[in-house]
Structure 1
Amino acid sequence: MATKMPSKLLTWLIISTCALTFFYSQLLSYSKAPSSPQPVPCNLFAGKWVIGPNRRRPIYDESCPFHRNAWNCLRNQRDNMELINSWRWVPEDCELNEIDPVEFMGVMRNKRIGFVGDSLNENFLVSLLCILRVADAGAKKWKRKGAWRGAYFPKFNVTVAYHRAVLLARFDEWLPKQSDRDEVKIVHRVDVDIPAKEWGDIGGFYDILIFNTGHWWGYDKFPKESPLAFYEGGKPIVPPPDILDGLQIVLKNMAAYIQREFPTTLKLWRLQSPRHFHGGDWNQNGSCLFDKPLKNSEDIYMVVISEQIDLWFDPSNNGVNKEARVINQLIVKALQDTDIELLDLTRLSEFRADAHPAIWLGKKDAVAVWGQDCMHWCLPGVPDTWVNILWQHVRFRLGVTAS
């Protein structure tokens, strides 16, 4: 008996060691940094705008209760709205189907969708809310958890909301010391490693999140008289970064925060929505009174099309609309090695100089005070195409087959 026990014990130890080694290796594999998700098999972002003989009516109209007045171009009687909504985005190698609100809500039943960022994400949200209301006319306005606005759809128990956080990171105004007031009136403190309070406590609440930032990162918003001052760990960053370097630091920190706090959430980041100011910036009499996309995308001279778009948006041309591509480069870099997926809606939107509210803002003297709106989009309009792309992307991620 004395000679058999060590043999059995040795066998047991070997088996136990192998099992522990296997489970430990599996644990290590799960603890690694998340790899980038497999790309959606169809590239929805490369294609062209076409206009066909069968013009579809928009899925919603000016009566949608979730409209924002300045973007309600039907109610504001913007010229050419029928033409604006006759253009259809056609990807190069696949088909982009129009969203079916009932199908969408059926798949999203008992789920929550959140948008976090600036007013261009709000523009996106309003389009989605008006589309989804077609499936549930009993939708109610919803504003909780720090949300700026949103809606609850009781028929499907679905919540869709927007959290306004223009820089994503926390920022506050404060007055400098008395001795410095002659030089600087107001300073905006940005804590690069702390999310804005408007979305800082939504961890675990949303099943899908769509982020953006960019349009507030400019000297028109924060001139030298009221600059941004960047803090990390509660202390000033030395030497002080300029505004774009500060953005890069914020993007890096916010990406890390999102990875840490939303491990099971489907996380998307919408790249920049391009502006279309012609002849000057928004405060320099810039205009966007166009009646068609920058170039008819059916034109066979695609090189000419590319050159025209680049004249507007290539940073090397130093035009007033260069910000989109500049900031996109920083975003793409910051999101490397994360599982945050890009919604690259920039290129397809660059063509649509014709689809902004422009002078039709629904408020007397608005243009005289603020200039033309060549940044946000008419609704119905281009953001409805964004919604179609979002749905096709989400459907793939959730494993829902096309109907």
Structure 2
Amino acid sequence: MAALLGFLGYYHCLAAVLLSLAIVLVHGDIHSSFNMGYEVKRNEVKSCDFFRGSWVFDDSFNPLYDSSSCPFIGGGFDCQKNGRPDRNYLKYRWQPNDCALPRFNGIDFLEKYKNKKILFVGDSLSNNMWRSLICMLHSAIPNPNYTFASRGLLSTFSLPDYGVSVNWLKNGFLVEMAYEKIGKVLKLDSISTGHLWLGADVLIFNSYHWWTHSGRFQSWDYFQYGNKTVKEMDHMEAYKIAMTTWANWVDTNIDPSKTRVFFQGVAAVHFNAKEWGEPSDKGCIKQTEPLKGSTYPGPPVPGEAILKTVLSKMTKPAYLLDITLLTQLRKDGHPSIYAGAGPKLIDCSHWCLAGVPDTWNQLLYAALVQS
């Protein structure tokens, strides 16, 4: 009998080992990387600067979802559906200089945010990140029970089994846009929609690209600040005033013990190939690999320094997802001519999904590991 019990114990132990091995074989890319970053090197992760690093080609690396199986991507971001012929851009992972970045774990993310409301507020780059996150969460659950709806400027993805909602509120300036007799007035020191931001457990703000528009591409007629209304002013000065208004709103209205505040950071564009030493190229067209190394040879993005200065002065600091460098290096990550409107539309500002925005959400997840 003792021998039989010993054999059965050995059998159960062997079965457990084989089951664990099977799980690793099926999910190894997700869980082995996650364990390396979260469990084994947890102390290292807590002190790591995730935003200084380089892109590493890894043939074993796979996106956390397939664009063909995610129903939320939207036409402009689905580069594979729109005919992009290469796939190596999906095989690059972000490698911080001094630590391992924990692999995104959708179930763990949902457990951390159980019964919580997550709200993205920003422009189309905010939309890019939001759609990436909901694809990542959707793929983490077999046969997920979800709802998806868009009404006006608000889009909502919910997973009722977890009580989690992930929302995107379109608002490219964050400050007030007023429609008056003289035209559209961008009020740099006024926020009129802040009440819509209250009640969220996690707020992820974004604003920059709309401020760089000029001529027929800009969506306002006048700037207003204090008692002044002007037709034109330096756009980066306007951006600084507006972001200071937003920061003051957060300091006044947000309780950090109830709501975590993130700022998505400034994503780079790649319309000018001279910046990376290839003047004969047409921006991001036909780019198939990132720049090597940890520095970008072109000029800095003006909004990056402005945003960091504003955030540094907040009394209730927002966590900056500092994505500027990692996007500067990814000249290959844009839809380019595969944005769904034919070769006449060249998109070197948004990002393919799956793709670079998945790393932004991995960094969002890493911020949870750090805390």
2:332 to 316, 330, 354: 354
- Quote how far apart the aligned CAs of 1:143 are: 4.3
Rounded Cα–Cα distance in structure 1 between residues aligned with 2:207 and 2:91: 29
Rounded Cα–Cα distance in structure 2 between residues aligned with 1:83 and 1:72: 15
Instruction: Give the secondary structure class of the aligned counterpart of 1:131.
Output: helix
* 1:248 alignment counterpart: 240
Instruction: Give the secondary structure class of the aligned counterpart of 2:351.
Output: coil
- Quote how far apart the aligned CAs of 1:57 are: 4.7
Conserved in 1, the CA contact under 8 Å of 2:146 and 2:158?
yes
Rounded Cα–Cα distance in structure 1 between residues aligned with 2:231 and 2:330: 40
Q: TM-score normalised to the size of structure 1? A: 0.72
Rounded Cα–Cα distance in structure 2 between residues aligned with 1:66 and 1:196: 29
* 2:58 alignment counterpart: 52
Conserved in 2, the CA contact under 8 Å of 1:228 and 1:243?
no
Rounded Cα–Cα distance in structure 1 between residues aligned with 2:218 and 2:196: 34
1:202 equivalent to 2:178? Answer no
Identity, % of aligned positions? 27
Deviates more, 1:215-224 or 1:253-262: 215-224
Rounded Cα–Cα distance in structure 1 between residues aligned with 2:333 and 2:60: 20
Conserved in 1, the CA contact under 8 Å of 2:240 and 2:306?
yes
Conserved in 1, the CA contact under 8 Å of 2:222 and 2:232?
no
Rounded Cα–Cα distance in structure 1 between residues aligned with 2:263 and 2:336: 26
CA distance 1:291–1:231, shift in 2 (3 Å): closer
* 2:135 alignment counterpart: 130
- 5+ unaligned residues in a row in structure 1: which ranges? 1-38, 177-186, 316-324, 398-403
Conserved in 1, the CA contact under 8 Å of 2:55 and 2:290?
no
Q: CA RMSD, aligned part only?
A: 2.7
1:85 equivalent to 2:94? Answer no
* 2:189 alignment counterpart: 193
- Quote how far apart the aligned CAs of 1:76 are: 1.4
- Quote how far apart the aligned CAs of 1:150 are: 2.3
* 1:154 alignment counterpart: 160
Instruction: Give the secondary structure class of the aligned counterpart of 2:140.
Output: coil
Rounded Cα–Cα distance in structure 1 between residues aligned with 2:220 and 2:203: 31
Instruction: Give the secondary structure class of the aligned counterpart of 1:195.
Output: coil
Counterpart AA for 2:297: D
Conserved in 1, the CA contact under 8 Å of 2:70 and 2:139?
no
Q: TM-score normalised to the size of structure 2? A: 0.78
CA distance 1:57–1:251, shift in 2 (3 Å): closer
- Quote how far apart the aligned CAs of 1:286 are: 5.1
Matches within 5 A, 1:4-403: 41-80=47-86, 82-136=87-141, 137-143=144-150, 147-176=153-182, 187-197=183-193, 200-220=194-214, 227-232=221-226, 235-236=227-228, 241-264=233-256, 265-278=259-272, 287-297=283-293, 306=295, 309-311=296-298, 314-315=299-300, 325-338=301-314, 339-363=317-341, 365=342, 367-368=343-344, 371-397=345-371
Conserved in 1, the CA contact under 8 Å of 2:63 and 2:354?
no
- 5+ unaligned residues in a row in structure 2: which ranges? 1-44, 276-280
Rounded Cα–Cα distance in structure 2 between residues aligned with 1:259 and 1:356: 35
- Quote how far apart the aligned CAs of 1:291 are: 3.8
Conserved in 2, the CA contact under 8 Å of 1:230 and 1:246?
no
CA distance 1:174–1:49, shift in 2 (3 Å): same
Conserved in 2, the CA contact under 8 Å of 1:129 and 1:160?
yes
Counterpart AA for 2:242: V
* 1:5 alignment counterpart: none
- Quote how far apart the aligned CAs of 1:105 are: 0.6
Return the structure number with greater helix share.
Answer: 2
Counterpart AA for 1:213: S
- Quote how far apart the aligned CAs of 1:141 are: 0.9
